[in-house]
Amino acid sequence: MRFGAPLTHLVEAFKKTKLIRVVAIGSSSTAGSGASSPHASFPAQLDDELERRFDGWDFKVTNLGIGGQLARDMFERMERDVISREPHVVLWQTGVNDAIRDVGVDSYRKTLKDGVELLRKHDIDVILIQMQFYPKSERVKGYAEYLQVMQEVAASEEIPLFRRFSIMKHFIKSGQFTAAQLLSPDLFHMNDLSYGCLAVLMADAIEDQVSPFLQGRATATAPTAPRR
């Protein structure tokens, strides 16, 4: 699990400060729907994972997830809620509600590009997080198109893409996990285990980018298992 584009500003932040600010903005799977508690959400587990891996640094992972929001709703919050916190990196999870409600792929593409551009103006790195895989997702008309749009935006803007859909689909289709193990009882939202997997894999990808530039400073130990 490696990113195909650099996290330039995040790397520089590791060199210059001991407090790394991360903002996670998204819909229900950022907010933590399906988790047993707020501390089992993806952003909270990521905070713990980064703290454990990077000795000597403190992390503040802020959860700005709101269930049901579209990409354009999140974009409208960027200036007030995200940029005001001066994060070094933003984790932007979006797309599933846009696909289900079919806001239009062109509109969705423009929103993603506008959001990336806005964050870049403020020297903030952004990681796009794919929609989740769930049993009925492949039957949602246009779902694959919205996945493709995010992939195209990440490639054209040269920013990291976290391939959540691909990872979850592989875990389930390969038989490593069942849908019931990785999803909450509604077989749509994620659960403690899958949020933990997301946190560990995101931390892997961040560590892969950052560690080579720390030049001997204490960094991670082996990754932990996600909470069950």
d(CA 54, CA 110): 36
Put the strands of the sheet holding 89-93 in their side by side order: 58-65, 19-26, 89-93, 125-129, 161-162
- The one-letter code for the residue type at 165 is F
**Chain centre to alpha carbon of residue 157:** 17
Which H or E run contains 196? helix 192-210
Beta bridge partners of 24: 63, 91
pLDDT of residue 216: 60
Domains belonging to the chain, first-starting first, are 8-211 (3.40.50.1110)
d(CA 94, CA 104): 14
d(CA 108, CA 116): 12
Q: Look up residue 190 and give its two tokens.
A: 């994620």
d(CA 140, CA 47): 33
pLDDT of residue 217: 58
How confident is the prediction along the chain (228 residues), in pLDDT tens digits per residue? 789 999 999 999 999 999 999 999 999 999 999 999 999 999 999 999 999 999 999 999 999 999 999 999 999 999 999 999 999 999 999 999 999 999 999 999 999 999 999 999 999 999 999 999 999 998 999 999 999 999 999 999 999 999 999 999 999 999 999 999 999 999 999 999 999 999 999 999 999 999 999 866 544 444 444 444
What are the backbone dihedrals phi and psi of residue 189, each rounded to the nearest 5 degrees, phi first? -75, 160
- Cα distances from 169 to residues 3, 61, 80, 84, 127, in angstroms, run 19, 27, 35, 36, 20
pLDDT of residue 222: 42
Question: Do 63 and 33 touch, CB atoms closer than 8 A?
Answer: no
**Chain centre to alpha carbon of residue 3:** 12
pLDDT of residue 214: 87
d(CA 60, CA 182): 26
- Please compute, for residue 95, the number of CA atoms within 13 A of its CA located in the half-sphere on the CB side: 28
Helical pair 143-157 and 105-121, crossing angle rounded to 10 deg: 30
d(CA 88, CA 3): 17
Question: Do 221 and 186 touch, CB atoms closer than 8 A?
Answer: no
